[in-house]
């Protein structure tokens, strides 16, 4: 059984359990079949961060990068301890479902969160959700954004990159997230053509402008804002990486044509930084498959 098949089955099981969570959540039942997930052959011990005493706890769907990856990369760049609960704990998915279940918010419990990614602050009962909101917090509290007004550029670029992320997801789910890809394939094929020909070049071109603008201010800088890595770097990098996975033919053509050379040079250079290289080589970096960025060959080629 392929990894993609396994992850798809897990996603279907989680989706079913979420619909059931509209009624009372039963903590004695697993929200998904963990025995099946173990066939992914992830060693929980090796998935755990080598850092001790986690400062943060990340709650996100297991066995996929998804939007949780933007949080992981920011935490890795900052070098702060964190726990990736659903990938490190056998009952982690139950913890996540318990948090977002309707019947679990009882004062003085933790603050409510609608959906993952969720960041639990170990110093309080605050649960932060919404990807850009979590990144904004980490930027201000973990040194991943400047102290001056350019911090708004960091957030602006991040929001723009997340727009591209949403569009990449909509390629394979253009009608409804509750439907399978196969249920909306004709619409996906039409969406993909426009995404490849118009949207990827538009966003990649904008990212290249960011790089050139920052170099005009800081000629020696390797980053998007100022002279230090920010959560704009980690977010844009992940979006470019995800789009490259989902559309390897299109992105490969852009590289061969030497389009967006500054962007790809920046992407390749950041990938070689020790913190990122180490993370990508670890089992904490989850493989792409059935999350936001999916590779369907038919969506990466022109149809007759």
Greater confidence, 14 or 42? 14
Q: Where are the alpha helices (DSSP H) in 247-280?
A: 248-256, 261-271, 274-280
- CA dihedral sign of residues 176, 180, 182, 183: negative
Residue ranges of the chain that CATH labels 1.20.1050.10: 151-300
- pLDDT tens track for 153-175: 999 999 999 999 999 999 999 99
- pLDDT tens track for 196-222: 999 999 999 999 999 999 999 999 999
Instruction: Please say whether the beta carbons of 105 and 304 come within 8 A.
Output: no
Task: Give the pLDDT confidence score for residue 222 in this predicted structure.
Answer: 97
Predicted structure pTM score: 0.84
Greater confidence, 18 or 125? 125
Task: Give the pLDDT confidence score for residue 262 in this predicted structure.
Answer: 98
Residue ranges of the chain that CATH labels 3.40.30.10: 3-141
Please, which residues bridge with residue 82 across strands?
A: 56
The CATH class for the domain spanning 3-141 reads alpha beta
Mean pLDDT for 239-262 is: 98
Please, which residues bridge with residue 118 across strands?
A: 59, 129
The structure tokens listed for 265 are 């040079």
Rounded Cα distance between 199 and 195, Å, is: 5
Please, which residues bridge with residue 121 across strands?
A: 56
Task: Give the pLDDT confidence score for residue 53 in this predicted structure.
Answer: 80
**Other beta carbons less than 10 A from residue 256's beta carbon:** 8
Task: Give the pLDDT confidence score for residue 90 in this predicted structure.
Answer: 87
Directed axis angle between helix 200-217 and helix 248-256, to 10°?
50
Q: Is the per-residue pLDDT at 46 higher than 70?
A: no
Task: Give the pLDDT confidence score for residue 26 in this predicted structure.
Answer: 36
Q: Is the per-residue pLDDT at 181 higher than 90?
A: yes
Identify the band that residue 76 occupies on the pLDDT scale cut at 50, 70 and 90. Answer: very high
Instruction: Please say whether the beta carbons of 226 and 211 come within 8 A.
Output: no
Task: Give the pLDDT confidence score for residue 101 in this predicted structure.
Answer: 83
Q: Residue 117: which residues within 8 A CB-CB, separation 6 or more?
A: 58, 59, 60, 66, 67, 68, 70, 71, 129, 131, 134
151-300 adopts what CATH topology?
Answer: Glutathione S-transferase Yfyf (Class Pi); Chain A, domain 2 (1.20.1050)
Task: Give the pLDDT confidence score for residue 125 in this predicted structure.
Answer: 78
Q: Give the closest residue to 14 by CA, choosing from 2, 30, 26, 35.
A: 30
Task: Give the pLDDT confidence score for residue 239 in this predicted structure.
Answer: 99
3-state secondary structure of 277: helix
- CA distances for 86 relative to 77, 117, 149, 220, 272, angstroms: 21, 11, 36, 40, 28
Rounded Cα distance between 304 and 300, Å, is: 13
Please, which residues bridge with residue 163 across strands?
A: none
Q: Where are the alpha helices (DSSP H) in the chain?
A: 3-20, 34-37, 44-47, 68-78, 85-88, 92-100, 131-141, 151-172, 185-194, 200-217, 231-246, 248-256, 261-271, 274-280
Identify the band that residue 106 occupies on the pLDDT scale cut at 50, 70 and 90. Answer: low
Instruction: Please say whether the beta carbons of 172 and 294 come within 8 A.
Output: yes
């Amino acid at each position: 059984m392929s990894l993609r098949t396994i992850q798809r089955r897990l996603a279907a099981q989680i989706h079913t359990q979420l619909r059931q969570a509209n009624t009372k959540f039963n903590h004695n039942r697993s929200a998904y079949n963990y025995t099946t997930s173990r066939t992914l052959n992830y060693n929980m011990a090796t998935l755990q961060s080598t850092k001790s005493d986690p400062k943060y706890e990340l709650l996100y769907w297991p066995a996929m990068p998804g939007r949780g990856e933007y949080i992981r990369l920011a935490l890795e760049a900052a070098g702060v301890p964190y726990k990736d609960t659903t990938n490190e704990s056998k009952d982690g998915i139950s913890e996540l479902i318990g948090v977002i279940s309707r019947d679990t918010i009882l004062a003085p419990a933790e603050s409510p969160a609608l959906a993952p990614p969720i960041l639990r602050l170990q110093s309080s009962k605050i649960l932060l959700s919404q990807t850009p909101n979590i990144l904004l917090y980490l930027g201000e509290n973990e040194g991943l954004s400047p102290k001056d007004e350019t911090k708004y550029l960091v957030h602006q670029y991040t929001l723009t990159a997340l727009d591209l992320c949403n569009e990449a997801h909509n390629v394979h789910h253009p009608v409804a997230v509750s439907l399978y890809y196969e249920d909306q394939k004709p619409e996906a094929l039409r969406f993909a053509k426009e995404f490849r020909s118009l949207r990827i070049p538009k966003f990649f071109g904008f990212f290249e402008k960011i790089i050139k603008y920052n170099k005009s201010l800081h000629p020696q800088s390797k980053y998007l804002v100022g002279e230090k890595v920010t959560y704009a770097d980690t977010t844009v990098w992940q979006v470019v990486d995800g789009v490259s996975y989902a559309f390897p033919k299109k992105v490969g053509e852009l590289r061969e044509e030497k389009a967006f050379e500054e962007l790809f040079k920046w992407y390749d250079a950041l990938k070689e930084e020790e913190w990122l290289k180490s993370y990508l080589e670890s089992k904490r970096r989850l493989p792409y498959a059935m999350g936001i960025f999916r590779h369907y060959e038919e969506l990466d080629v022109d149809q007759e």
